[in-house]
Every structure is written in structure tokens, then in C-alpha cells.
Amino acid sequence: MEKGKGNAPAALKGEGSTLSPSPFPLPIQAIVIDLDGTLLHTAPELAESANRMLRDMGRAPVSQDLLMSYIGNGIHWLVKRALTGDMHAEPDTALFDEALPIFEKHYTELLLDSQPFPNVITGLDALKAAGYRLGCITNKVERYTHPLLKGIGMTRYFDIVLSGDTLPEKKPHPLPLLHSAQFFGVPIEQLLLVGDSLSDAQAARAAGCPVFCVPYGYNHGEPVETLNVDAVIPDLTGVLPLIRLA
């Protein structure tokens, strides 16, 4: 069942790619999709939770744009970055231990305010109808992942959901992708990852599977066109024309 013909234009390749142009349509059996920044627009709720945390601790609020640039490596790093104003700094342990449960309280209250990005549901429906098995791989911890997917009505699309604390490693480590390929019983090169960030690109390259990125997500403020990816697609409906059912 082929969707699309011929080779993809060079513009689909990330500018930072060292790979030769991919032979589109790619032979794919299963697709795993990132959550935050790819499926759901969770940044407003995450940013608001961080600012409520800072307020409760007597600290100055931070702009939503800056907080959005902190998203992408899990809630622990978001809290650390909100406390330090730095992408890599470690706050005082006692300060972090005080801040984390405050953040978690507020995020639990706001969790289900998140909404799918445009064309996500249309894209998921089309991929399922075309015969692809789907999974969700996120660095969000399980206590939020499953209630969020269930509350938004997306659980039914996914045969497997891997959260940031499901396995010993999370993205950009390749383990979640290798685990997914084993779960689906497919060769790793026939598993496609759809994401929005450097973490997704690194995980895919380390695992040996193809990766597409959407440009609207949370890549720490950097354009995904510079990443080592096989294609940059406008939204989830852009997947199907570039793959065929292996």
C-alpha cells in the first residue's frame, strides 16, 4: 500500500543531516509519536504550573516564552530550569525537593486543559485507517501521561505508551525505540518516530530508525530544519504521503 511516489525533495532533509536523501516512500510497519509538542500543546499548562510554583515560593514569575524553551526533557528539568534560569544548572537539592511537589500539584490541576495541535486527530485517523500500528513515546512521567491521553480521548489510538519512567532510559537514549520495535515485532528500520526536538532526532539516529519532525513543537527555541532528520512535515497529516506499508 504505497502512499507517495518518487524521492523526496532535498528540502525535506534537515540541513544538519549527514545522510543521503531517503528513498521515499519509506517502508514502515509501525509509528511511534512524541506527546508534548507533537501531539498535544501542553506548553501553556506547563508554563503556568511553573509560574504558580515560583509564586508560591515567593519568587518572580518567568515569561511563558522562556519557560516554553525549557520544555522537552521531562518535568524535573523544567522545574530545575525555572528555579535556576539556566538550561543545565542544578539547583540546591533542598530547594528542588521543595519546588517539585508544588509544581506537581498545580500541573495536576491544569493537566486536562491541554489540546491537540491542528490536524493531529485527522492524522492519527488516517494512519490507523492505512493499517499502521501506533505507539506514543514521551519523556513525561507516567502519572501524567496516561491520565492526559485518556482525558483527551487519545488512548484508543496507541497499542503501546512509553513514559519517561517506564523504562530505565528515556529519549534521547535509543532504548524506548528499540523496546517499541521489539513490542511491535518489526525491524528497527521499519519503525518511524515522529517528534519535534533534538531529543527525538538523537534517539532515532542512535536506534537506527527514521524520524520525521514537526516544526511547531518544543525544540528549545531552535528550528527543527537544522536537525538530522529524514523529513520536516507541517503536521501529522504529512506522514502518510512519505511512507508505505512494509
Least confident of 55-69, 124-138, 151-165, 231-245: 55-69
Calculate the average pLDDT of the chain.
91
| CATH number, domain 43-113 | 1.10.150
Model pTM? 0.88
Q: What is the pLDDT of residues 23-70, one digit of tens each?
A: 899 999 999 999 999 999 999 999 999 999 999 999 999 998 899 899
Domain ranges of the chain: 10-41+116-245, 43-113
Q: Is the pLDDT of residue 9 over 60?
A: no
Q: What is the pLDDT of residues 151-179, one digit of tens each?
A: 999 999 999 999 999 999 999 999 999 99
Summarize the confidence of residues 191-220 as an average pLDDT: 97
Active site residue: 34, 196, 200, 230, which one? 34
pLDDT of residue 68: 87
DSSP result, the chain: -B-S-SPPPGGGS-TT--SPPP-SSEEESEEEE-SBTTTEE-HHHHHHHHHHHHHHTT-----HHHHHHT-SS-HHHHHHHHHHSSSSPPPPHHHHHHHHHHHHHHHHHHGGG-EEPTTHHHHHHHHHHTT-EEEEE-SS-HHHHHHHHHHHT-GGG-SEEE-TTTSS--TTSSHHHHHHHHHHT--GGGEEEEESSHHHHHHHHHHT--EEE-TTS-STT--GGGSS-SEE-SSGGGSGGGEEE-
Q: Is 113 a catalytic residue?
A: no
Residue with the larger pLDDT of the pair 237 and 9: 237
Domains 10-41+116-245 and 43-113 share a fold: no
CATH architecture of structural domain 10-41+116-245: 3-Layer(aba) Sandwich (3.40)
